[in-house]
Amino acid sequence: MTIGTVLVVEDDSAIRRGIVDSLRFAGYAVLEAADGVAGLATALAAAPDLVLLDVLMPKRDGFEVLSELRRSRPNLPVIMLTARGAEEDRVRGLRGGADDYVVKPFNTGELLARVEAVLRRSPARPEAAFAEIMVAGRKIDFARREVTLQDGRVVQLTEREAEVLSFLASNRTRAISRDELLRCVWGLDPRGVRTRTVDMLIARLRDRLDDDKDEPKVIQTVRAKGYMLAHPEAGG
């Protein structure tokens, strides 16, 4: 029995074969695509549980494919694979909706661990005791994974973005540290982990929520403690 289906979109055949073999050995069913056009078509038609998406590819690059996936399948987990190590590329991928970002060359054990972490729904994640809330003039609908902004625009959230908001909402009486978010939402052990994944996702969420980055009203920063969701409005 397989433990999930992973789509590998990678134009380098040797790298793709190594990833595919490792995933199959670990118990996953695997789909393959060698360029962005084929990868997007497969992701939309086959409904995999997760996509491993290369950045530099022929026909359509990974950023373009990611953008299309977020419009069509906003909750599909995506891990970006790239030889690029520049911070601006990592930021672009994460802000574009990627759930994680792995820079080549990488250890297959690490890649499998990241796949497991993204797919895993930790029992430590509390479920929100409400379907929707109003925060700073924004209606957050957890069931639909969408936010209605003050000007009436509706913004669709990725699964990871909704999970972070739900976790903050479920613990809205206190500040949540980066380590707690990594452990309870990403399923990662924060000990010895150097990552800005949490900060990047919070920045992306603030942008989606039309939250002032200098004086945020929705997701507030509590110095030396972490992040906290603003108190829900009456009736929300």
- Kindly report, residue by residue over 205-224, the tens digit of the pLDDT: 999 999 988 889 899 999 88
Q: Are residues 79 and 158 in the same domain?
A: no
E-only strand ranges, 75-206? 78-82, 100-103, 132-135, 138-141, 146-148, 154-156
> Quick check: 4 and 50 in contact, CB under 8 A?
yes
Closest C-alpha among 88, 77, 81 to residue 105: 81
Q: Are residues 12 and 108 in the same domain?
A: yes
pLDDT band at 129 (very low <50, low <70, confident <90, very high): very low
* More confident: 154 or 117: 154
Q: Are residues 9 and 45 in the same domain?
A: yes
Q: Are residues 14 and 99 in the same domain?
A: yes
| Per-residue pLDDT at 7 exceeds 50 | yes
Task: Say which CATH number the domain at 151 has.
Answer: 1.10.10.10
Q: Give me the mean pLDDT over the 225-229 stretch.
A: 91
Which of 93, 119, 145 terminates a domain? The answer is 119
Instruction: Return the HEC string of 116-145.
Output: HHHHCCCCCCCCCCCCEEEECCEEEECCCC
| Per-residue pLDDT at 142 exceeds 80 | yes
Q: Are residues 160 and 104 in the same domain?
A: no
Does the residue 208 lie in any domain?
yes
Q: Are residues 142 and 173 in the same domain?
A: yes
**Residue that has been written with the tokens 């789509």 in this structure:** 7
Query: What is the reported pTM?
Result: 0.54
Structural domain boundaries enclosing 144: 132-229
| Per-residue pLDDT at 126 exceeds 50 | no
Q: Are residues 57 and 91 in the same domain?
A: yes
Does the residue 235 lie in any domain?
no
